[in-house]
Chains A and B, each alone.
Chain A
């Protein structure tokens, strides 16, 4: 189980990083979202993987999943949404003002490789 979780986190981070390194704004946004998924799972898993032990106090239950990483990740998910929304709108605004969605604002015609 641990190997699978680690592999999933690795896959999300790897694909996210690859997309962040692309030259257009939209893949960068998608990449950021993927990375934040990976990071959320990572943080959550630092409380270890528990099956059927939700952190809801009941008399029958004696063992519980670690609630602290869960609480932290819950706010991280919402903040992550705020960040993604901000980056999306930034991409939109940049596209509207610069008439290109290149991350460095390079015009589409007479395209250059790399930075100027």
Chain B
């Protein structure tokens, strides 16, 4: 568990520094957390140095192969030590660097969050877990880079870093999934042992490229190098941390980790070596021309990462050893140099080499430390950078290389080394030597001791390792390299002096060349300025992003132009394509084996009426009333069809719904234009005709294909269980209220919601209907014809009685809550139509909302009731009772549910229709419940 705590402590403790308002407490709490984590790591040191690998495994999501597993390999230990060690130094430094105005607690929170994620990467045993931490570093570095959120360049830099490394992370996740698929496990131990299986697998190239994409984006390798210099908008401690020891090193960490599995193939060698070489030379070249100290260091970092990548690409044991050594060395001197650049910036107010000059007198300590750092960066003997760089040069001369590689590699390496010497000299001499600058924003002076402490410590490491490499760095680097190489570990002894050899000559050439380059810099600058005008990664990136946004807008604009007609056409068109495609890809005969049944003349005539009424609805759609009449004809024939094909319940439902729908449409039409103007061009009309013909033809074809295929149903269960289990012989009704009562509950809920939405849409909505009819005559004065009134009033009790009958018999014969509800609603609406609202409303003393709600509640309570009785939701029970006159009938709990359905239907239908009817009616105001209530209150007041 202590092992898992190493990354978890900073992650979980990240919020702690945020709790304090005191800057010292902010820093101290962050330091304590990082220190504790470091202590836990050091406890593992003895085991690691003896070659063990402590491991901690807890199952997390076994189905996905995700375990919560950590390991401390030698390599992971080296990295974790860098992360925590340099992290602690950054914590100390940042205490003095971050200004009073900036939220320091938040800074440390982000820093710890990042530190924990980074530790997670280097200590994960499971690849998926590693991926989680990998993404966390992308997010936390986004927060850190964008720490000064009020600065546009910080936001842009953070965004770019997130997009590039996050995008690479996606590729890498895909690569990891493939790798896990090939190996059959996501545990690193298994994967690292599966080199043969992986490299022989046909998916190896894809896997390799995907994983490399992730590593290269993170490590800012060519062509993704451009995000790193722009990430320099971050506060300097962040740059020092992210770009020396952590964030960008995660990429090379992963490359090194994958060397035993993916490395050694020609593909690996070609891609990784070439990318490393290009990055190395290109970035070193760019670094020479940067006036911004941090920009110079950023490109130098990219270049050194290229160097490490190149070494890992070579993949020989000594090259890997050199890579590990250089990771350590680079972290030490680059972190120190960033911190020194931060000091210069902090004390003088600028980082511009052109403006800075002669700071040696004012800042002697800083100058001295920078001298060490630049020496290490340039690869001057007796500094640590020299050792690994010499090993690197020796590797580029290795005899194993063939063809063009044998001269391109050493040539590129020497060239990059020359550039490195040149930019190191420029950084040192440009800032500290020469005449003291006079127009600086701040007066240069030495920083507080706390700020010098961290770089001083790092520079001491550089010198000590440079002089006594075997003593100070030997065990650590050996353990690290051995964890990667295993039995291939070279028998190499680090020493300052390896005798006079070719690598030493190249080192000397580089040093001399660098000095010459520095002296001739003015000419170089002129050439460079000419070249670089048009080549900037940031501009390319930004134009790419804006281009992508533009083109996606264009695509969206084509698809979504705000025209409903186009959406509908696209929807129907795609449904057609999707629906038709199985017919063309399948060779099965279109019609099934079931023979057609014979057609009787009556059905044929009714069918023809239905078809012609449907066509008439469409053809006469400009005349809206005619269209509605035709539509109602279709509805009537549909209900006859239900009756013809043995579905009496459906026929009853359809005919009552039909009635209500037509009333609704007539009421709406009263307030809509009566005719439809011509809008569509003939071209569009033909397009629509073709589309609708295809849609109709498709529906008919599918129908025919279904009807001629053999029939297999699950309904035998319902038919067999209806009487003994549900207590009703009308199987349709028993299904509705019992077997599938939960569906019905959902459906009446929808009905109620629709009623409420319609009410909300119409409430306080004012619209005026026309004052004359279609021919221009005023409306008839006889609004409530006496004959209609006299017929409908006696009809009311009769129909209500009938609906009770329909309701009660519903369980055994056609009928039930839905139908009874619709009949009741219809007859009530008929009263409104015939006698008007002024007469009707005061006589019906109920609120439609309440009826509707009661229905829903009753249905719910019935369901819950069976719960209380210990049965599943909506289980029904029944018993038989006899009443005089009515005879024997059964009372089922399902009946209470059906009553709920009945009330919900009555309530919602009445709610909608009455609300619609009272629109545009001045009479309605006088009988509205609120008006009546007000009136009653006024009366009482008098």
Contact = CB atoms under 8 A, between A and B. Distances in A.
A113 B660 CA distance: 36
A56 B696 contact: no
Given A1-B597, A89-B762, A79 B648 contact: no
Interface in A51-77: 51-58, 64-68, 70-71, 73-75, 77
Contact of A114 (B563, B628, B645, B713): B563
Contacts of B2: none
Interface string A1-27: 111111111111111111111111111
A82 B751 contact: yes
Contacts of A8: 607, 610-611, 614, 641
B542 interface: no
Interface in B507-539: none
A56 B668 contact: no
Contact of A18 (B644, B688, B719): B688
B766 interface: yes
B706 A45 contact: yes
A111 to B, nearest CB: 7
Given A19-B618, A50-B645, A51-B646, A64 B719 contact: yes
Given A52-B646, A74-B736, A114-B563, A11 B731 contact: no
Given A65-B646, A67-B718, A95-B767, A22 B676 contact: yes
A38 B618 CA distance: 14
A71 B562 contact: no
Nearest to A53: B646
A78 B751 contact: yes
A14 B696 contact: yes
Nearest to A50: B646
Nearest to B688: A21
B835 interface: no
A8 B909 CA distance: 29
Given A92-B672, A95-B767, A9 B647 contact: no
Contacts of A7: 607, 611, 700
B868 interface: no
Contacts of B604: 4
B193 interface: no
B838 interface: no
B393 interface: no
B649 A11 contact: no
Interface in B602-659: 603-604, 607, 610-611, 614-615, 617-618, 621, 624, 627-628, 631, 634-635, 638, 641-642, 644-650, 653-654, 657
B818 interface: yes
Given A2-B597, A7-B607, A9-B700, A14 B645 contact: no
Interface in A78-94: 78-86, 88-93
Interface string B696-718: 11011111101110010111001
B707 A48 contact: yes
Given A56-B730, A104-B563, A10 B703 contact: yes
A15 B719 contact: no
Interface stretch (B51-59, B153-161, B739-747, B842-850): B739-747
Contact of A1 (B596, B673, B758): B596
A85 B758 contact: yes
A13 to B, nearest CB: 4
A4 B599 contact: yes
Nearest to A52: B646
Contact of B693 (A14, A33, A44, A75): A14
A18 to B, nearest CB: 4
Contacts of B757: 86
A116 B557 CA distance: 10
A58 B729 contact: yes
Nearest to B818: A78
A86 B758 contact: yes
A15 B767 CA distance: 31
Contacts of B671: 92, 95-96
Contacts of B551: none
Contacts of B723: 57
B927 to A, nearest CB: 22
A65 B735 contact: no
B344 interface: no
A68 B621 contact: no
Nearest to A49: B645
Contact of B707 (A5, A26, A73, A83): A5
Interface string B744-765: 1001001100110110011001
A110 interface: no
A70 B648 CA distance: 9
B569 interface: yes
A22 to B, nearest CB: 7
Nearest to B604: A4
Nearest to A73: B650
Contacts of A70: 647, 649-650, 732
Contacts of B677: 24, 108
B713 A47 contact: yes
A85 B719 CA distance: 34
B402 interface: no
B704 A2 contact: yes
Contacts of A14: 618, 692-693, 695-697, 699
B705 to A, nearest CB: 9
A86 B919 CA distance: 16
A73 B645 CA distance: 14
B565 A74 contact: no
Given A27-B621, A57-B719, A91-B668, A44 B642 contact: yes
Given A27-B627, A81-B657, A9 B563 contact: no
A67 B634 contact: no
B371 to A, nearest CB: 69
Nearest to B678: A23
A66 B714 CA distance: 9
B912 interface: yes
Nearest to A80: B657
Contacts of A19: 617-618, 621
A109 to B, nearest CB: 12
Interface in B900-942: 905, 908-909, 912, 916, 919
B561 A115 contact: yes
Contacts of A6: 700-701, 703-704, 707
Given A14-B693, A45-B706, A78 B732 contact: no
B757 to A, nearest CB: 6
Contacts of B702: 42
A41 B695 contact: no
Contacts of A49: 597, 645, 707
4 nearest A-B residue pairs (beta carbon) = A14-B696, A115-B563, A10-B700, A82-B754
Interface of B: 561-566, 568-569, 572, 596-599, 603-604, 607, 610-611, 614-615, 617-618, 621, 624, 627-628, 631, 634-635, 638, 641-642, 644-650, 653-654, 657, 660-661, 664-665, 668-669, 671-673, 676-677, 679-681, 684, 688-689, 691-693, 695-697, 699-704, 706-708, 711, 713-715, 718-719, 722-723, 729-732, 735-736, 740, 743-744, 747, 750-751, 754-755, 757-758, 761-762, 765-767, 812-814, 818, 822, 905, 908-909, 912, 916, 919
6 contacts: A18-B618, A75-B747, A77-B650, A82-B750, A84-B664, A103-B563
Interface of A: 1-31, 33-34, 37-38, 40-42, 44-58, 64-68, 70-71, 73-75, 77-86, 88-93, 95-96, 101-104, 108, 111, 113-116
Given A13-B695, A17-B692, A79-B750, 10 more contacts: A19-B617, A21-B569, A40-B654, A48-B707, A57-B723, A66-B715, A71-B740, A78-B818, A89-B762, A104-B562
